[in-house]
Structure 1
Amino acid sequence: MHQCAQHPAPASYGRAFAIGILLNVVFVVVEAGFGFATNSLALLADAGHNLSDVLGLLMAWGGYALAKVAPSPKRTYGWRGSTILAALFNALLLMVAIGGITWEAIGRFSDPAEVTAPVIIGVALIGVVINTATALLFVKGRKGDLNIRGAYLHMAADALLSLGVVVAGIVIAMTSWQWVDPLTSLLIAAVILFGTWGLFKESINLAVAGVPDKIDPADVQDFLTSIPGVTAVHDLHIWAMSTTEIALTAHLVKPDADDEDSLLKETASELHHLFDISHTTIQIERCVDATNCGQAADGTL
């Protein structure tokens, strides 16, 4: 058997999380205060979403920190899976925020409240700056880490949503159409849903040990089968240990196995190069009868 070296998560995001949380806490207090003072549902909806982002950032930071805890005899993978739970929590939190914003906006259509457009515009512009700055803290890690992607998605969406509030304030100032405020809230909810759905599906998939979206298990199967001397592959499992690390176990049937150490080393290296699979455990078998490997007939690949 062979397991390749681990690939630790970047060490620079702790400071990014701290700065992002501090900026957004200050902005939530300011935005909510002006929202209540001006009866603006758009500002309150945006503040509520920003508050959920603060909680989301805290969860993401917690998962990021726990992922660095060393493995133990009871937790052989350490706390790496906490990053997956943090991503799932972020997605669920956004879904709750969508429901609350939508409910309030529908009620405001039948009972609109007069809002102060200049205040809405000024506060929302501050939000554009703060949310954009926070999103930039996570822009480099968004592609390789679902947990960091959740944090980035929150902040990038907020920047766009705050910009939407600015537009709503300008329209209200020019037309006195108060219904633009709840309409903007519904648009905010729609944009959040659109941006969150992929995160929601992928985090659930990883939470139940599904194959990460970026990997096609058939391609992995084909690669393993193509190894010289390998006649069959079974009991193939691919799953995420965390939002940055992918693991694989498989049984390779190789009747004429002679240099297993070299084979295992080269296979693990290629799996990492081709599929970004960083933890590989492979079992070599010379035949596949019932006494040799019971997993060969259980329906797995």
Structure 2
Amino acid sequence: MLTDAFSLVLALIAMRLAARPAKGTYTFGLKRAEILSAQANGITLLLAAAWLGYEAVERLLRPPEVTGWMVLVTALAGVAVNLAATWCLSRANRASLNVEGAYQHILNDLFAFIGTAVAGVVVMTTGFARADTIATLFVVALMVKAGCGLLRESGRILLEAAPAGLDPDAIGGELARTPSVAEVHDLHIWTITSGEPALSAHVLVRPGGDCHAVRRDLGRLLADSYGLTHTTLQIDHEDPAPAPAAAAHCANGHGPAHRAVPQGR
């Protein structure tokens, strides 16, 4: 319950920080505070799982005396509290990884109390004291799954990975096939915070092409086909020199270059 309280307080603090406007050196504001909060919640879930797992194995090998009715009463009180908390959080925007982190804490605690209630009934009716330990190990598995999921998703955002469902190579190829586009390179797709994907790229336009029209066409394509509305496109005319265009414009390119298929092929 203490870890649940910690996760809720952390989520609320992260929300307040993320809502602050961008200023000074923090050009994106503090939006990533929500991702750091989700990562912290994932870590606490794994730490709690490790501690509970260790305690459960100890009791599995040397089972203590378990008072079934006390386990059941405690569990039912916990179920009631966590049902209310889970219901409240389920109505929040769970697309936010920060909210999802707090939700997973409360949800896993709810599962723990349900398992504890079942174990209490088993102990009362059969005297099988290890039922409490077995229920704990089941909850530990759920906590590890939830904690790893939060760390994986928050890690992808912090490492600037492309959002799930967006293939940079496929997007780069489609941009390069746009009329008048000669090449697309330095293509980056990342997530600022939950639900806020962004894209930047360097686009070379064929000689004689209309840079402004190409920019508008690419913007509409990215918004309509991929839901990318936060885009920054550097538009330049292709260098007619025989040297590779990417080298002429970007001495240190980042990532593969996507070139249009020459007409007539």
TM-score by length of 2: 0.85
Q: Secondary structure at the match of 2:235?
A: strand
Relative contact order, higher structure (CA 8 A, sep 6+): 1
Residue 292 (1) aligns with residue 249 (2): yes
8 Å contact kept, 2:43–2:147: no
Residue matched to 1:102? 53
Which residue is 2:90 aligned to? 139
Match of 1:82 in 2: 33
Report the CA distance shift for 1:222/1:54 in structure 2 as closer, same or farther (over 3 A).
farther
* DSSP-derived class of the 2:7 partner: helix
Call closer, same or farther: CA 1:237–1:140 in 2, change over 3 Å.
farther
Give the unaligned 5+ runs of structure 2.
239-244, 258-265
CA separation of 1:261 and 1:134: change in aligned 2, threshold 3 A = farther
Tell me, yes or no, if structure 1 residue 183 matches structure 2 residue 140: no
Partner of 1:20: none
SS of corresponding position for 2:249: coil
Question: Which is greater in Rg?
Answer: 2
Query: Deviation of residue 261 (structure 1)?
Result: 4.0
Question: Per the alignment, in what secondary structure is the counterpart of residue 236 of structure 1?
Answer: strand
What residue in structure 2 maps to residue 227 of structure 1?
Answer: 178
2:218 counterpart residue number: 267
Quote the residue 1:7 is aligned against: none
Q: Does 2:207 align with 1:252? A: no
CA distance 1:198–1:289, shift in 2 (3 Å): closer
Mapped to 1, the partners of 2:203 and 2:69 lie a distance apart of 68
SS in 2 for 1:290: helix
Deviation at 1:81, TM superposition (A): 1.1
Instruction: Indicate yes or no: 2:102 matched with 1:151.
Output: yes
2:187/2:255 contact within 8 Å kept: no
Instruction: State which of 158, 168, 174 in structure 1 corresponds to 2:125.
Output: 174
Cα distance change of structure 1 residues 114 and 83 upon mapping to structure 2, 3 Å threshold: same
Residues 76 and 104 (structure 1), Cα distance of their counterparts in 2 relative to 1, 3 Å cut:
same
1:175: Cα distance to partner? Answer: 0.8
* Contiguous gaps of at least 5 residues in structure 1: 1-49
Q: Give, in angstroms, the shift of residue 111 of structure 1.
A: 2.5
TM-score using structure 1 length: 0.76
Rounded Cα–Cα distance in structure 1 between residues aligned with 2:46 and 2:208:
52
Contact 1:172 1:178 in 2 (8 A): yes
CA distance in 2, matches of 1:246, 1:126: 42
SS in 2 for 1:294: coil
Identity %: 30
Q: Give the match's secondary structure for 1:231.
A: strand
Q: Residue 151 of structure 2 is aligned with which of 193, 197, 200?
A: 200
235-244 vs 120-129, greater mean Cα deviation: 120-129
Q: Which amino acid aligns with 2:53?
A: T
For the residues of structure 2 that align with 1:99 and 1:107, how far apart are their CA atoms?
Answer: 12
Partner-residue secondary structure (3-state), 1:72? coil
Q: Report the RMSD for the aligned CA atoms in angstroms.
A: 2.2
Question: Does the 8 Å contact 1:235/1:295 carry over to 2?
Answer: no
Q: CA deviation at 1:250?
A: 0.6
Q: What is the match of residue 262 of structure 2?
A: none
Counterpart residue number, 1:160: 111
For 1:184, the aligned partner's letter is A
Post-superposition offset of 1:103: 0.8
1:229-282 deviation digits (Å, cap 9, x = unpaired) = 223211011112112312211112221565544543453344344333342101
Once the two structures are TM-superposed, the CA of residue 69 in structure 1 deviates from its matched residue by 0.8
**Aligned residue for 1:60?**
11
Shift of 1:205: 1.5
